[in-house]
Amino acid sequence: MAVRDEVKAERDKMKGRPLKDRLEYFWEYYKIHTIVGVVLLVIAFSIGHSILSNREDALNAVFVNADALDDGAAEELTEQVARRSNIKTDEKDVNIDLFRTLSLGGPVNQTDFGTAGRFQAQMQDHALDVMVLDPWYFTYYTNQTTFMDLRNILSEKELESLKDRLYYVDLAELKDLQKEMAKADYQFVPEEPAKVLQGELRENYKKPDPDRMQDPAPVGVILSDSAFIKKHKLYEGVDPILGFVNLMDKSHKKAAKALLTELAKK
């Protein structure tokens, strides 16, 4: 008897039988097909969900030591950046983290080391584009050559519009510092937190003077007049500084500049 005839005979046998018998028959003859079908369906769903949820990043930015509250500031800034750079947030992610902290004066505990290590890993993976930090930590990361020369990302017109807000570093001094830090016996010594806080308070802080530098380069934008930062009281009493990470994803340049534009608004 052909397979087709066998199947027909089995089906005829089940006609008029109770539902329980028919279900038992179905499970007996088709359980392998059913299990395989369910497994394939789960796999297909998993792959589809992964594709839909694993969206491409358009920007990764972090604020360090901000006085951030969960008041919707990150969402507001995300919307502003996405709108300015024409990013569809249902297709790409604009990631803005306002809640990272580091101990004043330098990393001293496991939490600090974990946070600093996270930043380093993100940079190496081209997954950190912009950092906004208090003055002490901006200098700390500048000394590690974290930030790019703004002349490599901003136009002359853009730099001119920000000229009174630029943070400069002396590349000659930075080169000497890098040599010192490369020595086998070099050790970073954390500073006293109270002293650091006193020194970076707005009334005491003095930004580096490019006229007194051998080889000045703009690497940051001081955001003391930022309307957004003032509105959300993100850096009370200190002047935050924004820098573009040297190892940023170059395809994120447009969104990174849009973030600066939004934060630079007075």
Give residues with Cβ within 8 angstroms of 73, minimum separation 6: 98, 228, 232, 234
- Contact between residue 22 and residue 30 where contact means Cβ atoms under 8 Å apart: no
Q: What percent of the chain has pLDDT over 70?
A: 80
- For the chain, the domain total comes to 2
Please check whether residues 29 and 70 belong to one and the same domain. no
Domain co-membership, 77 together with 156: yes
- Sheet with 56-64: list strands edge to edge: 92-100, 56-64, 130-133, 241-244, 216-222, 166-170
pLDDT digits (tens, 9 = 90+) for 101-121: 999 899 989 998 999 999 999
Task: Say if residue 123 is in the same domain as residue 14.
Answer: no
End-to-end Cα, the chain, rounded Å: 87
pLDDT band with cut points at 50, 70 and 90 for residue 229 = very high
Q: Is the pLDDT of residue 57 over 50?
A: yes
- Mean pLDDT throughout 227-235? 95
Q: Domain boundary at 32, 51, 70, which?
A: 51
Does residue 220 share a domain with residue 247?
yes
- Strand duo 56-64 + 130-133: pairing: parallel
**Domain, as residue range, for 15:** 3-51
**Same domain flag for 67 and 8:** no
Instruction: Give the residue-averaged pLDDT of 125-145.
Output: 95
Give the Cα separation of 129 and 122 in Å (integer).
9
CB 239 within 8 A of CB 204: no
The answer on 18 and 132 residing in a single domain is no
Are residues 27 and 159 part of one domain? no
pLDDT of residue 217: 97
Nearby residues of 124 by Cβ (< 8 Å), 6 or more positions away: 247
Tell me: the pLDDT tens digits for 238-254? Answer: 999 999 999 999 999 99
Indicate if 28 and 79 belong to the same structural domain. no
146 and 196 together in one domain = yes
Residues 120 and 220 in one domain: yes
CATH code at 255? Answer: 3.40.190
* Per-residue model confidence as pLDDT tens digits over 172-206: 999 999 999 898 888 888 888 888 888 888 888 88
- Predicted pLDDT at 26: 52
Same domain, residue pair 120 and 200: yes
More confident residue, 266 or 3: 266
Structure pTM?
0.78
Domain end residue (candidates: 17, 32, 51): 51
**What's the CA gap between 234 and 134, in Å, rounded?**
10
pLDDT tier for residue 46 given thresholds of 50, 70 and 90? very low
* 187 and 167 share one domain: yes
Average pLDDT in the chain: 85
Burial of 152 (0-12, 13-18, 19+ CB in 10 A): exposed
pLDDT at position 111 is 92
Pairing of strands 241-244, 130-133: antiparallel
